[in-house]
Chain A
Amino acid sequence: MKVDYTIAIAGPPNVGKSTLFNRLTGGEAHVANWPGVTLERKEGVLRHHDKLLKVVDLPGTYSLSANDLGELIAREFLVNERPDAVIVVVDATSLDRTLYLAIMLLEMYPKAVLALNMADAAEKRGIHVDLEGLEKRLGVPVVMISALKGVGVGSLLDRVLEVAEGSVGREEPLKVDYDGLEPYIAMLEDLLGDIPEKLGYPSRWLAVRLLEGDEHILDKVNELDSSLAHSINELIEKAKKELNISPDLLAIQSRYELIDQLVARYVTRVKLARPSLSEALDKALLNPLAGPLLATALILSTFFIIFTLNTGFPLNLLFDLLGMESIASAIEENSLSGLLGRLFESLSEQVKEGLLSSGSEEWLALLVSDGIIGSLGTLISFVPLLFFAYVIMGAFEDSGLFARAAVVYDRLFRKFGLSGRAFFPAVLGMGCNVASIISTRAMDDDRERVVTAMASPLIPCQARLVVLLALAASAFEDPLMQASLAVGIYLLSFIMFLIVSDLLNRFVFKIRIAPDLLMELPPYHRPSLRVIWWYARSNTEHFLRKAGWIIMALGISTWFLLNFNFNGYVGDNVTASFAASLGKALVPITSMIGLNDWKFALGFEVGFIAKEGLVVTFSNLAGVADPVKALRILGLTPLKALSMALAMNFYVPCLATVAALITELRRLKYVLITVGYQMILAFVLAAGVYWAGVMLGFA
């Protein structure tokens, strides 16, 4: 398959760039990282009029000044890979701000098409744009589209092809009138000679960037010809002194002046509709008292729904409390993890019988039925947990609610050296820690990102919820007590998340000040199902591709540990297996938290693969399917259950989480610190509670 043209999509955040990318590629994206950084690079292909186009999604940035990594990547991509056309996406309802990036891009790269997105919203608000006029003035095709509704995308692609083929568009980059800066630009251009050409940047653009104090560009020039450094600096200093205003301010002002002219000339508003509902919502959500409560209530109630769908909790407990046990157990059985669990159980049973009756050896049959199909079951059982978490999070993100939540939680988080931006990953962690670690990518402060990723595994994910519920049910008959235990662990986890973040900030990074919050609050709108579907699907797929093989491989290795020793297959006699020996070796440690049985230690080993493995192991060891009964058979007293709940909740996140930490943090040190502090925390909490309980006579 030969690609005819490479097309890049650029645009500031929140203008619908990802929506357009998904619309163009049908959500089929190849996700990789930009070289050397963990910023996602999404690529896809599409066919238009017999031409095969490769589409690259550039990072969403406010400018191309190399203020941050995203800006630098977008800029260097244009210079180095010279796409055949760039689609610059802006928001038609907010042109006076979003055109900034478009202007900057056109100054640097002429082969572009300007896509005015959100045509539907613009129409509703009575915003009309003179496309022809704007097109003439800017010299590049201008198309009105709605990425969400799919309107205008065909003609956008027509114009993209025209630009790629070279039949329309600019030859030269756009010239902005920089007013007082002009003489210095001219002098710099003279001074630079053929350097811009050698570096691949337009000469005027390079001169302006130098005057604006762009260090990345200055370094590049110096690398090529260091003899100029002195005269360049002299010129910049001269400009600063003579202009009485800093050149970068003047440059930014000039761009905005051009934008204001464009808007005044080509944009008309026939009516002024103020979104009053959105203002009322903001009044409530941004209120310092009501806001956090509202945001919390909203998030809790949606997790109530995800949890119930996935595990039955907490709706089953509610019915239990009301004395309707049969409804409660029906909910539990029909939850997704219940259904999938039974499905894989019967599948593995049938495969085992089939293999045994066709004469294969016992260990081989078990390897296939338990080892392989069992691990596959673990992997598959992740999918709904993860998928639903992403669906809900996608809806929140898409509606604009999360940005508000970040604002109202900022104050609390700052006390622990984080900003409100850490709120999203923390909440996502309740769905799945892998998802929360990956989501820290969106944070632009590096230290905050790493700290959040390191602390977020403390938030109990849904797999831990499953174990927690089994432990609670085995420890207490009273559903109210069961619910209190579960809720208590969640509360403790969030508190620990904040405390550990603070400690990491202080002792690992030695910075206590939270990064400043600066973020746009996108307007509220009804979440689009399509956007949510794209979001949830691509993220779930991404996880499966990335962590899938690790989970399979470790699941199968664990099976070997459980079923083999140096003499080969151990059959029914688990006590003789490698895993049991390992468990026995760990008993001295687990005894300190009250769990003086190698079977519990073994459970913790398996729980590392995936936390729900804990209950599976106990079921296997006790020989009953119901984990609650199994735990009772193994002699778990309420106090021991509490100790185990704490240890289970806080000790090393699962394998997939460790894998995500490795790929996202890229520093072994941080991964080791994370694993280490979790082990210690789990041990200290569990031991503390256990021995306090023993002294108080609860043993």
Chain B
Amino acid sequence: MRIAVLSGVPAGSKAKVISITAGKGKVRRLMEMGILPGEILEVISNSVGPVIVRVRGSMVAIGRGMASNILVEVIGNESRLHHSDSGTS
């Protein structure tokens, strides 16, 4: 088990949301789109731009800045995890 920010989770992994730290409105919007603590996200693409995840069957693009405010627990592909990527570009 490994804790990371979403922007540091490589594509192909699954991650469970632990917490989100951002402005109130933004957190709420994320949660209402299904990205809320306890939910499992599948990271589809994560390289330089926005992070793309599958959540509840839909694909959602999350800006890198916002993705670095989402704390997750990585469930798969732990070995490929970037250790120090804070996600800000």
Contact = CB atoms under 8 A, between A and B. Distances in A.
Interface stretch (A246-254, A334-342, A680-688): A246-254
A519 B58 CA distance: 11
Contacts of B1: none
A126 to B, nearest CB: 14
Contacts of A408: 49
Contacts of B71: none
B76 interface: no
Contacts of A282: 44-45, 59
Interface string B56-70: 111111110110000
A419 B30 CA distance: 17
Interface string A309-340: 00000000000000000000000000000000
A249 B24 CA distance: 11
A407 interface: yes
Nearest to B61: A407
Interface residues of A, number: 34
Nearest to B55: A97
Given A62-B29, A67-B28, A407-B50, A518 B61 contact: yes
A93 B57 CA distance: 9
A97 B45 contact: no
Interface residues of B, number: 33
Contact of A518 (B36, B44, B56, B66): B66
Interface string A96-123: 1100100000000000000000000000
Contacts of B28: 65, 67, 248, 252
Interface string B23-60: 01110111111101111000011011110100111111
A417 to B, nearest CB: 13
A617 B44 CA distance: 55
B58 A94 contact: yes
B73 to A, nearest CB: 17
A249 B18 CA distance: 12
B34 A410 contact: no
Interface string A78-107: 000000000000000110110010000000
A94 B57 contact: yes
Contact of A410 (B29, B56, B63): B63
A286 B45 contact: yes
B34 A249 contact: no
Interface in A386-419: 403, 406-408, 410-411, 419
Contacts of B65: 516
A168 B39 CA distance: 36
Contacts of B49: 288, 407-408, 410-411, 420
Contacts of A65: 28, 32
Interface in A403-443: 403, 406-408, 410-411, 419-420
A521 B61 contact: yes
A550 to B, nearest CB: 38
A256 B36 contact: yes
Nearest to B37: A249
A694 interface: no
A97 B36 contact: no
A516 B66 contact: yes
7 contacts: A100-B32, A213-B24, A282-B45, A286-B44, A407-B52, A411-B89, A516-B62
Interface of A: 62-63, 65, 67, 93-94, 96-97, 100, 213, 248-249, 252-253, 256, 282, 286-288, 403, 406-408, 410-411, 419-420, 516-521, 523
